Amino acid sequence: GFAKLDHHRSLRSGFGEVIYCSGKSDKHLIKIFQNFNERDFNVLGTRASKEQFLKVKEVISEAEYDELSGIIKIVKKSIDKIGCIAVCTGGTSDIPVAEEAAQTAEFFGSNVVRIYDVGVAGIHRLLSKMDDIRKANCVVAVAGMEGALPGVIAGMIDKPVIAVPTSVGYGANFQGLSSLLTMLNSCAEGISVVNIDNGFGAGYISTQINRLAVRGNA
């Protein structure tokens, strides 16, 4: 077959399997889903269109789809959730990326608290939520346009903040470049950054951190 499926990964990491759906042909995509499905893994598909989901659904009836985040899920073994990750957004339009992060974290066994639309252009909205945010082991902060949210949060807590720039905006936003640069240049301590719109990556690494906080290096 064309694709060397990475069956050891799940064993190694104790997590389920992940498929990046965007840009894959239907034929390839279905084959990969079927292949994983034959084994006893939970499977997470990211950046899937509704059309792709319907094709997958035809052959794997238990597949579920969340249109907002573009996530396909096949859950065979029930997932126990531990600890806590806070997923925050600057605006309403950042929610799809935030949901990709939140649902990824949940899929891999983290409890998630969602705190949306608390961007820094109205700082009182954020300040009123700080107690909830402080309880989490790790914060995922998602923001487009100017992208200042993660830095402001990181300045108020002593837990790691995973910053996710989004492509929300126009003009000199340059498809998310502006928020990416803002986050990389943050003067706050305790912040690191993933790719533009990469909710999945943020959900994954925050889960790794959350696990360490709950279980230590087991």
Ligand X SMILES: Nc1ncnc2c1ncn2[C@@H]1O[C@H](COP(=O)(O)O)[C@@H](O)[C@H]1O
Residue range at the interface with ligand X (CB under 6 A); choices 17-25, 72-80, 126-134, 174-182: 17-25
Residues from 108 through 147 that contact its own copies (CB under 8 A) = 116-125, 137-138, 145-147
Residue closer to its own copies (CB basis): 72 or 196? 196
Report d(CA 82, CA 205) in Å as an integer.
Answer: 15
133 interface partner picked from ligand X, Mg ion, its own copies, none, CB below 5 to 8 A per type: none
Residue pair 149/141 in contact (Cβ under 8 Å)? The answer is: yes
Measured CA to CA, the distance from residue 164 to residue 182 in angstroms comes to 11
- DSSP-derived 3-state class of residue 119: coil
Q: What's the CA gap between 15 and 109, in Å, rounded?
A: 8
Using CB under 6 A, pick the residue from 47, 55, 73, 211 that binds ligand X. 47
**Interatomic CA distance for residues 14 and 21, integer angstroms:** 22
User: Going by DSSP bridges, is the β-strand pair 64-66/71-74 parallel, antiparallel, or unpaired?
Assistant: antiparallel
Residue 18 engages ligand X in binding (rule: CB under 6 A): yes
Instruction: Kindly write down the DSSP assignment for every residue of 129-192, as one continuous string.
Output: THHHHHHSSEEEEEE-TT--HHHHHHTT-SS-EEEEE-----GGGGGGHHHHHHHHT--SSSEE
Nearer Cβ to ligand X, position 135 or 183?
Answer: 183
Q: CB of residue 75 vs ligand X: minimum separation in angstroms?
A: 17
The answer to the question of residue 154 lying near Mg ion (CB under 5 A) is yes
Instruction: Tell me which of 20, 75, 190, 212 binds Mg ion, using CB under 5 A.
Output: 190
The size of the interface with ligand X (CB under 6 A), counted in residues, is 13
Q: Is 32 in the site for its own copies (CB under 8 A)?
A: yes
Count the site residues for its own copies by CB under 8 A: 96
Residues that bind ligand X (CB under 6 A): 18-20, 46-47, 91-93, 187, 189, 198, 200-201
